[in-house]
Structure 1
Amino acid sequence: MDNVEFGSKETAIQVEKKTDDFYGPDYFDKNENKNKKLASKAAVICYGFGDLASQFIWTFVGSYLTIFYTDIVGLTPIIVSAIMLGARIFDAVIDPIMGAIAERTRSKWGRFRPYIAFGCPGLALFGVLTFINPFGGSSKAGIIWAVVTYTIAGILYTVVNIPYAALSGVMTEDADQRNKINTSRNIGMNIGMIIVNSCSAGLALFFSGTGSEVATGHGYMMTALIYSVIAIPLFLVVFFTSKEYVAPGHNDSKFSLKATINNLVCNKYLMIVTGIMALQMTAFMGRIAVCAFYVIYCLGSFTMIALIMTIPSIGAVIGSLFVPYFAKKLGKRNVLMYSMLIQAIGLLIIYFSPFNNMAMVIAGCCVFGVFNVGFPMTLSMVADSVDYMELKTGIRTDGTAYATYGLATKLGNALGGSIGILLLSAFGYVANAQQTPGALRGINIVVNLIPALLFIGAALLCLLWRMTDEQADDIRIALTKKKEQVN
């Protein structure tokens, strides 16, 4: 490892020890913050369009593909589970490779922006193809089609969204602005969820034909097509408004999967936030994957999907407006931890609500939604972990680090969809039939109780994160000094 200079030469081991102990608030001259490169206001606002676009495709896939496979295509829960888990196992290899490739990309548009522009049309296309059943029924050809289209859709999500996530860490050198950028993303995500969750059921029914009480395959496919057409220009807005300011580390070496994984595993703070994200995403995205079963069978109405799944997203948009303020006052870790604990309380309110007590169900949804503000904090914490590792090793791993976020998102969606549907089957769920009381209780457990417990687990895991925001600022200043000395 290279020596690093902070007034006097220190060995890498000494630097690592100091990094673990952290520098005091007065160790660096804070006036150097004036020289930070900042993203434009337009870039901060428009960055959220990328996650808005992603929700049009991936939230629709996550919310409706499971029920499309079971109730339209006719696949058994075991087959659906195998398809989703198999695709995510494949992602465990693909995601870090994509991150490493993006880190080593050198183009006139930067390292990450090209993948957003050139990958989004493919993602949009396969977002539609997953909702097409050309072979009619659960034949072997139909199963193969489902495997191929879902897997490729996941790969293309990786190609676009890992560079998109990594982009937030290189658009600015200012920690507060990173929080604003990731808050913009969270707002975009939740606006996308509001639109998808409020409009999808109605659109699917509209395109299913007059008199349809539930959506048909054609209804799902046409809805996916509309969302995909909208998503492409939104991705392009991010490409044209953003710029990459943070210089790459020494990542010009040839790609090595072993070295890439080693860089990730050795970054203790990245491992902590990855664990938090895995639980957080399994609770959140996993719940989305099976929430339609709760609304249709427990609450008794397909059309109420729009209401129940939109309320949390509206609350999240409102709550996100206050995130930068509370992040400054309480710190990123505490905002994340407390928000997940209160989300768990909201889900417990829903879980204990009688199915005919809509006021109590809606109250729980509101509590769950208003405090759905943890995602910007986890993204900013990933950026802090990247800075921490760069100071220790001299290597900046934006792409591979943010690959953990993309993998956690898809893993959570898959676990919720695959294990969730298996649990529903174990509780006695039968597609397109009147459910038994035991099956209804099982649906409620899978959709509300289990995610609540996962949120509590993620909140407890936050206690392992010992890096304060002030210490993260010191690390960034140290990196700036180091680069200035090299130049």
Structure 2
Amino acid sequence: MKQRLTNTVKFIYGTGDVASNLVWTTVGSFLTMYYTDVALISAATVGTLMLVSRILDGITDLTMGWIINRTRSRFGKARPWLIASAPVLCLLLVMVFSVPSGVKINEKVVYATVTYVLICAVAYTASNLSYSIMCNLMTRNIEERNQMNTIRFIMAFLTQLFVNSYTVIWVDRLGGGSAGWTRLMIIYAAVAMAIFGLVFVFCKEDPEMLDEQNSAEKMKLQIKDILQGLMNGKHYMILALGIYVCFYMQLILMNSSMVYFARDVLGKKEMTISLTMFMLIPSLLMLPFVPKLARRFGVHRTLSLGYLFGIIGPGVVWFSNGDLHLIFAGRILYGINQALVAPLVQTKVSQMADYNCIINNGMPLIGVTNSVTSFGVKIGVGLGGAMVGWLLQVGQYQATAAVQNSSALAMENALFSIIPCVFGVLCFLLNLGWDIGKAFDQARSDLEMK
């Protein structure tokens, strides 16, 4: 299949994940700690808040996918939503990390709930879903999609490396406390807004693909017709949903508990830098080879290998007994998991969208297929964040304590190792049946024979 996108366009598309992760990684890695240690909201309340918000978020994902499917504008289908949501997302990033001080705790909880629901269920949903769908609408070529997703996740990992390593340091340098968080979020929001603008200007959807998606008959489809079309995808949608839930539960459990693990279990909050670097640097070194591995061994087999590393990595940390060499080895293995899984799972979703279109006689299902997996992301993030809050409460974590008790330390250790390991096992098992590439090839062959 002919390649048509320039390297410049592919690169600029990939930088969109810098903007997304200035929001996503900051919220996923630090908001729980901000709520418990700065806003002084109880861990159990934080956990419940995050779960309820993410469930609402998942519902809006499906709605947003349907809206994008029905959008018809001179800028395309997904692209206008990217630029429309960007300023809202950036403003809410600042607001989320600006819980008012000097007010009653119930008022803090209401403020946190409203702003968290808005950033997750409205702004980030519209932004990230439209950004992901743009890849499907810019090219049909699977190699180009692999290249774009690889660049995208290189940028994502670089941003995660920066955010997880330097956010706490820069908060302190900008004054610390609530004011330090607000000031840093203003900087992050300004950079994210500029990058979203570049992606909007340079990354355009394919006119031919838009014409196909925008035919009069297809634009009249109701949401019930589209949902029925998704159900025709047999068990693949259910498997994909389960994989996304489990993968993001694993990711959020480790990211949200890392600062607690470094500060309390290892005794130095600065260790978050080392823990991040030993995970993300191997990921960055591995990512350029992922398209070649996928070509040689197939996307499905390479992805299965990635999920195996997602089991072994956290498991090594669990059995490390505090040995830094083993902890860092576990992080390296988990980094390989991230490099193999992040781009390839998105490629499989693209294949699944194409598969759903074929088996439903060309019905436009790109938007809602991506929204289902995005729904899985939000549920996984919500459950993962909730588990961190709830289990810290079970471990009797005290935000104001200079030294945590043994049960809190044990829980922080488990949240960073053995519990994520369990979700790694679930990802591997679910992926065994999610060979969507094989199903797509068969569906295309059947269509050609008609």
- TM-score, structure 2 length as denominator? 0.92
Give the aligned partner of residue 9 of structure 2: 43
1:301 equivalenced with 2:262 (yes/no): no
Residue 11 of structure 2 aligns with an amino acid whose one-letter code is: I
> Residue 397 in 1 paired to residue 365 in 2?
yes
Correspondence for 2:54: 88
Asked if structure 1 preserves the Cα contact closer than 8 Å seen for 2:47 and 2:389, the reply is yes
Partner of 1:442: 411
Look up the SS of the partner of 1:267 in the other structure: coil
Contact persistence 1:274–1:408 (CA under 8 A): yes
Which whole-Å deviations, capped at 9, do the CAs of 1:233-253 have from their partners, x for residues lacking one?
Answer: 111222122222234445312
Any conservation in 1 of the 2:78–2:133 contact (CA below 8 Å)? yes
1: CA distance between counterparts of 2:375 and 2:253? 13
User: What's the counterpart of residue 22 of structure 1?
Assistant: none
> 2:388 corresponds to which residue?
420
Question: Is 360-369 or 304-313 further displaced after alignment?
Answer: 304-313
CA distance in 2, matches of 1:265, 1:116: 28
Matches within 5 A, 1:114-125: 114-125=80-91
Matched, 1:279 2:246: yes
Aligned-pair CA distance for 1:37: 5.8
**Where in structure 2 are the equivalents of 1:369-388 lying within 5 Å?**
369-373=335-339, 374-388=341-355
- C-alpha contact 2:55 2:378 (8 A) present in aligned 1: no
> Which residue is equivalent to 1:66?
32
Contact 1:270/1:386, CA 8 A, preserved across alignment: no
Question: Does the CA contact (< 8 Å) of 1:349 and 1:360 recur in 2?
Answer: yes
Give the residue type in structure 1 aligned to 2:105: S
Give the structure 1 partner of residue 289 of structure 2.
Answer: 322
How many residues are aligned here? Answer: 439
Whether the aligned pair in 1 keeps the contact of 2:245 and 2:381 (CA below 8 Å) is no
1:451 aligns with 2:414: no
Asked if the contact 1:270/1:382 (under 8 Å) is kept, the reply is no
2:433 to 447, 458, 464: 464
* Residue matched to 1:156: 123
**In structure 2, C-alpha distance between the alignment counterparts of 1:262 and 1:436, rounded to whole Å:** 52
Give the superposition deviation at 1:262. Answer: 3.1
Whole-Å separation in 2 of the counterparts to 1:178 and 1:473 = 17
Which of these residues, 321, 336, 359, is aligned with residue 303 of structure 2? 336
Aligned equivalent of 2:98: 132
Shift of 1:474: 6.8
* Higher Rg: 1
* In 1: Cα distance, 2:205 partner to 2:446 partner: 20
Q: How does 1:221-240 map to 2 (within 5 A)?
A: 221-240=182-201
Alpha-carbon distance change, 117 to 435 in structure 1, aligned in 2, over 3 angstroms: same
User: Contact (CA 8 Å) 2:146, 2:343: kept in 1 or not?
Assistant: yes
Asked if 1 retains the 8 angstrom alpha-carbon contact of 2:253 and 2:415, the reply is no
CA shift at 1:255, angstroms? 4.2
Higher helix share: 2
**Which residue among 160, 180, 183 is the counterpart of 1:219?**
180
Q: Deviations over 1:20-44 (max 9, x none)?
A: xxxxxxxxxxxxx3xx463222222
Rate the CA distance shift 1:387–1:282 in 2: closer, same or farther, 3 A: same
Paired letter, 2:427: A
Gaps of 5+ in 1: 1-32, 209-214
Q: 1:60–1:196: 8 Å Cα contact kept in structure 2?
A: yes
Question: Contact 1:274–1:404 at 8 Å: present in 2 too?
Answer: yes
> Relative to structure 1, is the Cα distance of residues 478 and 221 closer, same or farther in structure 2, using a 3 angstrom cutoff?
farther
Could you give the per-residue CA deviations for residues 173-194 of structure 1, whole angstroms, max 9, x where no partner exists? 1112211111112111111101
Please name the residue that 1:57 is paired with: 23
1:290 and 1:416 in contact (8 A); partners too: no
**Correspondence for 2:203 among 220, 242, 263:** 242
- Superposition map of 1:190-269 within 5 A: 190-208=157-175, 215-245=176-206, 246-247=209-210, 248-249=212-213, 251-253=218-220, 255-256=222-223, 258-268=224-234, 269=236
Q: Deviations over 1:345-384 (max 9, x none)?
A: 11111112223x2222112111211331201111111111
C-alpha distance 261-293 of structure 1, shift in aligned 2 (>3 A) = farther
CA–CA separation in structure 1 for the residues paired with 2:102 and 2:372: 36
Q: What is the CA–CA distance in structure 2 between the aligned matches of 1:135 and 1:93, rounded to whole Å?
A: 32
2:108 paired residue number: 142
Deviation at 1:320, TM superposition (A): 0.9
Contact 2:96/2:112 (<8 A) preserved = yes
Deviations 1:74-130 (A, max 9, x none): 111221122111111111221110011011111111101111112111101101100
SS in 2 for 1:99: helix
User: Matches of 1:440 and 1:66 in 2, distance apart?
Assistant: 17
In the TM superposition, residue 449 of structure 1 has moved relative to its aligned partner by 0.9
CA displacement at 1:201 relative to structure 2: 1.5
Q: CA deviation at 1:170?
A: 1.7
User: Aligned partners of 1:205, 1:392: CA distance in 2, in Å?
Assistant: 55
Specify whether residues 362 and 466 from structure 1 end up closer, same or farther in structure 2 by C-alpha distance, changes over 3 A only.
Answer: closer
Q: Provide structure 2 residue ranges, at least 5 long, that are not aligned to the other structure.
A: none
User: Structure 1 residues 181, 465: closer, same or farther in 2, change over 3 A?
Assistant: same
Residue type of the partner of 1:460?
L
CA distance in 2, matches of 1:60, 1:170: 29
Alignment check: 8 A CA contact 2:55 2:382 kept = no
Contact (CA 8 Å) 1:193, 1:310: kept in 2 or not?
Answer: no
Q: CA deviation at 1:319?
A: 1.3
TM-score (norm 1): 0.85
TM superposition shift of 1:138 = 5.0
Q: RMSD of aligned C-alpha atoms?
A: 2.1
95-104 vs 336-345, greater mean Cα deviation: 336-345
Name the CA distance, whole Å, in 2 between partners of 1:263 and 1:290: 39
Return the alpha-carbon distance in structure 2 between the equivalents of residues 199 and 163 of structure 1. 29
